[in-house]
Structure 1
């Protein structure tokens, strides 16, 4: 009888032990925070209740924002002596750090977001100083990319077709060599607030097999910086450049061109 009672007591204690353990595990599971949904995370990061203000630059009243730029040239259009301009299709990529967008609450190291989210964050006010015309691409959707990394780094890429002014000296026509530039500047932020710089590696890239009739494409870049002085202040400016001359030389995106076969605009007799 004693052995039976001892066995029954042992079994009861074992059942109680496992019941308590299971109860503690259930309580822990209930108290553990649920994984945050992507929508809730984005609302917390940059939503109306997040405190993020897209109208204010990162490091406000602090050091200027350094924006690293990269250009990928998809295609060249025509180089026109009559209108003194040229067309180019590019991916313009800008990268900067916004400490307000750094996060730890989400498992992914980076987030690729819908282009509509661009309206929710601060962006540099880059423009092309020698632009005569331009348009974005929207087929089949906006050709824009927004990526935010865990440390607050932001990548903003956009596809643009540009018509850029290229003043030409035609006194040696048709054996002339012309230089065309692509000039990038900040429109409203002075150098106290924003500085553009070229990406250290591969600042200017060209699509494989890119050709232009009557020209030879030469991948020789000379990346330059300058400061533009206006009545409203000093502004940072950047431009890719190149040097050299040859029959049909076309460098990117500064263009040194001497067509291999070009005919005068007007014959005289």
Structure 2
């Protein structure tokens, strides 16, 4: 048994040595072809066409996985009905034209932002965007990673202002539902399909705070619909549920207006003959309430329906005006009930 085993081992050595030497030659040939990564990248992009999708000549669309990280929500403006946010947008897709298995000693390439224009990237845009910008301090905040299996990761940092149609019937105790819509601008579902990433599709900063709102709920969904020329465009949406904090309005409007109403009731304790004091107090409270109502409405859009704060301010104004009107009525009745002789004596004593 021992001689037979030695003979078999001796016969297996030669094929093993042959494949080892062949692999070394292949590796050396690759290394000689691309001594630097710059030369490799130029060779990879020599016949690459960045004007067509990766599946342009395929019967299926290019699937682009999208994920968002909300860094901050800067403002929610009721007057212009929009919200401003800062976020990171990450898009991932597969481009078989960029595969480089084993051609260089790296599993992926980190490319400079200046090289992004040499690659095809999806034409993602925000449907309800008013204006936006890609940050460029100190360099454009974009990156592109190219993996050896053809996977491309494209990431950018964006600040944008998007439209949010608000219902202000319950203002300032309202809850607003805002959405951020994303679509492909020029490619239909036959060419590109956006879909949420399977891992962490939508995340946000843990300590995300706003001055007047609190983020109650954050969710993502698909919103595929009909676009130009009745063609179906792929669509993704982010829904934000914002609850307004009433503390600011409680301190600045509700409590002061309630105190002014109580102050107007002080005139009930004054003598009916104290005309200057009661008139001054009534007019002062009416003018103050009118001014507070004007200030409260000036920061809101000119909507045609009644808001909750309008009901409150109108009720307060009605109370202080009723106090002034009550004095006028009581004073008129008092002057009619007093006999003329008594009035004459009062006038003589006054002189």
**What TM-score do you get using the length of structure 1 for normalisation?**
0.78
Residue 48 of structure 2: aligned partner: 52
> 1:164 Cα deviation (Å)?
0.5
2: distance between equivalents of 1:233 and 1:256? 33
SS of 1:190's partner is coil
Q: 2:96 aligns with which of 92, 99, 103?
A: 99
CA distance in 2, matches of 1:94, 1:170: 36
Match of 1:187 in 2: 185
Secondary structure of the structure 1 residue equivalent to 2:43: helix
Secondary structure of 1:43's counterpart equals helix
Aligned to 1:215: 213
Give the 5 Å matches for 1:11-30.
none
* Kept after mapping to 2: 8 A contact 1:178/1:257: yes
Q: Which residue of 1 aligns with 2:241?
A: 255
- Higher helix proportion (structure 1 or 2): 2
SS at match of 1:221: strand
Matched residue of 1:173: which SS? coil
Moved more, 32-41 or 158-167: 32-41
2:229 & 2:130 partners in 1: Cα distance?
Answer: 23
Deviation at 1:32? 4.0
Alpha-carbon distance in 1 for matches of 2:163, 2:134: 18
Distance 1:136 1:220, change over 3 A: closer
Q: Which has the higher strand share?
A: 1
Other structure's SS at 2:180 match: coil
Pick closer, same or farther for the CA change 1:256–1:219 going to 2, 3 Å.
Answer: closer
Pairwise CA distance, 1:232? 5.5
- What residue number does 1:39 align with? 38
Deviations 1:63-98 (A, max 9, x none): 101110011111111100000000000010000011
Provide the residue aligned with 2:262 in structure 1: none
Q: Shift of residue 208 of structure 1?
A: 2.6
CA distance in 1, matches of 2:246, 2:224: 33
1:125 partnered with 2:123: yes
Match of 1:164 in 2: 162
Q: Give 5+ residue unaligned stretches, structure 1.
A: 1-24, 242-253
The whole-number CA distance in structure 2 between the counterparts of 1:83 and 1:194 is 34
Q: Secondary structure at the match of 1:265?
A: helix
Which of 209-218 and 110-119 deviates more? 209-218
**Cα distance change of structure 1 residues 90 and 53 upon mapping to structure 2, 3 Å threshold:** same
> Residue 17 of structure 1 corresponds to which residue in structure 2?
none
Q: Does the alignment pair 1:205 with 2:191? A: no
Given that residues 84 and 165 in structure 1 are in contact (C-alpha distance below 8 angstroms), is that contact kept between their aligned partners in structure 2?
Answer: yes
Residues 167 and 219 of structure 1, relative CA distance in 2, 3 Å threshold = closer
Aligned: 1:265 with 2:297: yes
Higher relative contact order (CA 8 A, sep 6+): 1
The normalised TM-score by structure 2 is: 0.61
CA distance in 2, matches of 1:217, 1:158: 24
- Structure 1 position 147, deviation (Å): 0.2
Q: Deviations over 1:180-201 (max 9, x none)?
A: 1010000000000001101112
**Contact 2:215-2:242 within 8 A present in 1 as well:** no
Give deviations 1:107-137, integer Å, cap 9, x for gaps.
Answer: 2111110011111011100000000010111
The whole-number CA distance in structure 1 between the counterparts of 2:181 and 2:155 is 18
Q: Which runs of 5+ in 2 are unaligned?
A: 1-20, 250-295, 299-312, 318-351
**Paired residues, what number?**
227
Q: CA deviation at 1:169?
A: 1.4
Instruction: Determine the C-alpha separation between the residues in 1 that align with 2:113 and 2:84.
Output: 25
